[in-house]
Structure 1
Amino acid sequence: MKYITKEVRIGIAGIIALCILIYGINWLKGIHMFQPSSYFYAKFENVNGLTKSSPVFADGVRVGIVRDILYDYTNPGNVLVEVELDTELRIPKGSSAELVAELMGGVRMNILLANNPREKYMVGDTIPGTLNNGMMESVAELMPEIKNMLPKMDSILTSLNTILGDKSIPATLHSVEKTTANLAVASAQMKNLMSKDIPQLTNKLNIIGDNFVVISNSLKEIDYKATFQKIDATLSNVKTITEKLNNKDNTVGLLLNDPNLYNNLNETTANAASLLEDLKANPKRYVHFSLFGKKNK
């Protein structure tokens, strides 16, 4: 122990502190130095701002980190991303790595696992990568359409300002206000009608309906067959009387159809009228009255 001097102790403490510092920095980056892991490469045309120590997800679960980003100078336009993944993660053949642009500007890597239980990528293999701009790409695609719509929007706003500046708009609004007030009055009157007059009318209609029921029941009790038989008998009698009146073999028929009787009655009436006139003109010729009596002439 006498060989462990103060300087040695300081050196050992410095080494230990340096190891702790390195471990702490890697731990903060998400790198677990003493945890076993496997590494793969993902090939992209553009990493779109992906940084080292970025988390890697599979089905929404963090399964690793980005260890390094290497630009392929021999094949420009290709970027290799070294990914450290958990050793328990099995990457089937046909899987791919996807870079998703987040809304706040960050980039996240997702491992899209394929359904291939037979084949898998080995440690150090290269996985194909794709770039998905997500919502930002959709917004970028909409920008040309929005740009084309801006002149139309400007024209619409101009027309709207012209319409709103028209002096007839306040008058129209005033008319609408009056119409609304009239509708409110009509609604109140309708409410009054519904609460007072309609029940009375309904009651009267119910009474009329009851009367119709009574009349209907009375009509059901009528013997229509006997009634029609009586009507037929009456019509038959009327027909018989009419035939007799038109026939000359009876007194009434002769009275109605014999012209001689009509002429005789006219002649008798004329003689009676002539006799009455003569009686009025010469009453002494037909009436003789004397107190002492008189010889006949």
Structure 2
Amino acid sequence: MTKEVKIGLIGITALAMLIFGINYLKGINMFQSANYYYVEYTNINGLAGSSPVFANGYKVGTVRSINYNYAKPGHVTVEVEVDKEMRIPKGSAGELVTEMLGTVKMNLLLNFHSTEYYQPGDTLPGKTNAGLMGAAEEKLVPQIEQMLPKMDSILHSLNKILADPALGATLHNAEKLTANLDVATRQLNILMQKDFPQLTGKLNTIADNFLVISDNLKGIDYASTFNKVDSTLYNVQMLTEKLNRKDNSIGLLFNDPALYQNLSATTANAATLLEDLKAHPKRYVHFSLFGKKDK
């Protein structure tokens, strides 16, 4: 074998290994028999070659190629390689699903009610499913579009508020109020540290005095005290009854009208005597420094 033949065989082997490695990285098994089908779409939503093909969540094939169908403008034909044992019932479709990260995969929606099957090389109808991202786009985007004018109005109002000089004055007043609160807090802390302990000590002293008074009150014989009070009240009652009766001298003094009249007459006579004494003192008093003269 010549040197040139060896170099050629090595080159062919290297090329075959390169092709096999590239296909292996794409998920294509060149040593496994497969059937080829075509799926037609109007929008492939970013489907890429070598993307996996699933049926009931299980990988059954790979996307081999994607070609624009120039015979039917607006349509894209996707060539799909599936396992040879995989039989696709008629009425099935290839659905493109967009995942959260933006990748697109193909799901074969199999029609298990059909007893007829597509033949390798047949074309299946295609469907698109935007998935969670599409649902979010369909529902959230219109709401966001409705919110944008409101957000613009809110931002405009916020700018007006921020540009209002009254806001600066309000912030200045708030700063002053905060400073006053800080001063009040420090004064309250001083009060709590100095005056409050003294007040607490006085309150404790008052409480101790109340305890002493309470102990003293506990030592009082209330029964004996109330007995003495009852005895005193009884004596007062007896005295009052005697004063109201006429069978004793004090009762006669308070209840005899004749005695009252005599006292009134005596008082009147004494008053008349005093008036006459003031008017004619010589009738009652004879007094001389040199003795009585002979007449």
TM-score scaled by structure 2?
0.69
Aligned to 2:64: 68
Seen in structure 2, the aligned counterparts of structure 1 residues 178 and 270 have a Cα distance that, compared at 3 Å, is same
Alpha-carbon offset, residue 241 of structure 1: 1.5
Q: Count residues in correspondence.
A: 266
RMSD over equivalenced CA pairs, Å: 4.5
CA contact 1:47–1:131 (8 Å) conserved in 2: no
Aligned to 2:259: 261
The equivalent position to 1:17 in structure 2, one of 11, 14, 18, is 14
Instruction: Could you tell me which runs of 5 or more consecutive residues in structure 1 were left unpaired when the two chains were aligned.
Output: 88-95, 112-123
Aligned to 2:45: 48
1:186-225 counterparts in 2 under 5 A?
186-225=184-223
Instruction: Could you tell me which runs of 5 or more consecutive residues in structure 2 were left unpaired when the two chains were aligned.
Output: 86-93, 109-119
Deviations 1:164-211 (A, max 9, x none): 333322222222222112111111111111111111111111111122
CA contact 1:47–1:79 (8 Å) conserved in 2: no
1:99-110 counterparts in 2 under 5 A?
99-103=97-101, 105-108=102-105
1: CA distance, partners of 2:251 / 2:79? 136
Deviations 1:88-120 (A, max 9, x none): xxxxxxxx98734343x4325689xxxxxxxxx
Question: Among the aligned pairs, what percent are the same residue?
Answer: 51
Aligned to 1:116: none
2: CA distance, partners of 1:80 / 1:42? 6
2: CA distance, partners of 1:242 / 1:38? 137
**Which residue identity does 1:245 align to in structure 2?**
L
Seen in structure 2, the aligned counterparts of structure 1 residues 139 and 206 have a Cα distance that, compared at 3 Å, is farther
CA contact 2:243–2:251 (8 Å) conserved in 1: yes
CA contact 2:51–2:105 (8 Å) conserved in 1: yes
CA contact 1:56–1:65 (8 Å) conserved in 2: yes
Aligned to 1:270: 268
CA contact 1:70–1:81 (8 Å) conserved in 2: yes
The equivalent position to 2:170 in structure 1, one of 163, 172, 180, is 172
CA contact 2:96–2:104 (8 Å) conserved in 1: no
| Other structure's SS at 1:134 match | helix
